[in-house]
Amino acid sequence: MSTLEQASASPMPNGITDPNFRPLPGRVGNLTVPQQHALQTLKNQLLDEGHFVEERMDDPMLLRPAIYFRLAIFLRARKFDVPKAKAMLLAAEQWRLDMKIDDIVQSVACLLLSVDYPDLAQRRNFDFAEKKEVDQYYPQYYHKMDKDGRPVYIERLGKLNVPALYGITTKERLLQRLILEYERFLTDRLPACSAAVGHPVETVCTILDLKGVSLSSFYQVRDYVNEASKIGQDRYPECMGKFYIINAPWGFSAVWSLIKPWLDEVTVSKIEILGSSYQQKLLQDIRAEDLPADLGGKCKCAGGCSLSDAGPWNPDEKTGNGVA
């Protein structure tokens, strides 16, 4: 019996086809006895108190083990302290009600069905119709996977044009879009990536490009960045796998000193700051055919990588290279 098997008190997740997969500590398939007990205790308390939401907290989908994503991530975020994890999770659930998250998510279903059912289009509450225009002034997009199967998220902060951006949208709508993408990350992108690589994928690889960034533009959008970082840490914790800041300009330390206090120590430890010679590092973790050409890769999606939504979650989308 291996050391991993001896240490783990939880069974391996279902649906694994990767023979080399070994869960990291604190994940289902590699929980200690106290961690497994904490997981079950939290679930039982939520059930007893009527707070358990089955569609989010007990997902039976392939490679989405029961109570794994919603409960285990909050437990890991609070070092398996059940009272603290429970408080964090319940605060997130109340936030979902306050922000009407289900309405935002359901609006996408209405949008997808509106061709066959036109009346549904009238019922949707959120449709980010300005996506193509916003992409010109603040590109933010998911694009394929890294070598570990994580979806890659790219943000081009250096292209930020705040006056133009807020001329076509608002901070509130940007935050709604951010929330929608977090929800799709959990319900669509992670399961698709997991199925593609044959083992659970639960985090994202982020590339933040600062080429051309100006301190004045950052100051104008700092409220949005602050709220966005809090949403990620407090409502969708434990999603960061790798985080690369590229093209960090001279004087970036001033901007970093503003951002860093908004982030917890674990988050900060996952961030790697690179200058203009970043390509080799990115290509160590992302295949050239999966990395956009303007970031040093070979991918040239038809219509542009930032609008392609290319990845295993969108198998019908083709790139200019003929690679989905």
Of residues 269, 262, 264, the one with CA closest to residue 228: 262
- Tokens describing residue 296: 């040093």
- Tokens describing residue 120: 């549904």
Longest CA–CA separation in the chain, Å: 62
CB 151 within 8 A of CB 185: yes
- Tokens describing residue 126: 């959120």
Long-range pairs for 113-120 at CB < 8 Å and ≥24 separation? none
Of residues 92, 100, 180, the one with CA closest to residue 140: 180
Question: Digits of tens for pLDDT over the chain (324 positions)?
Answer: 343 344 456 777 777 888 888 888 888 778 899 998 998 899 899 999 999 887 777 643 333 444 446 788 899 999 999 999 999 999 999 999 999 888 888 754 444 444 444 443 443 467 899 999 999 999 999 999 999 999 999 999 888 888 999 999 999 999 999 999 998 998 889 989 999 999 888 899 999 998 887 777 777 788 888 899 899 989 999 889 999 999 988 777 777 877 788 777 777 888 888 889 999 999 999 999 999 999 999 999 999 999 999 999 987 755 444 443
- Tokens describing residue 105: 């998510």
pTM of the model: 0.85
- Tokens describing residue 79: 């070092």
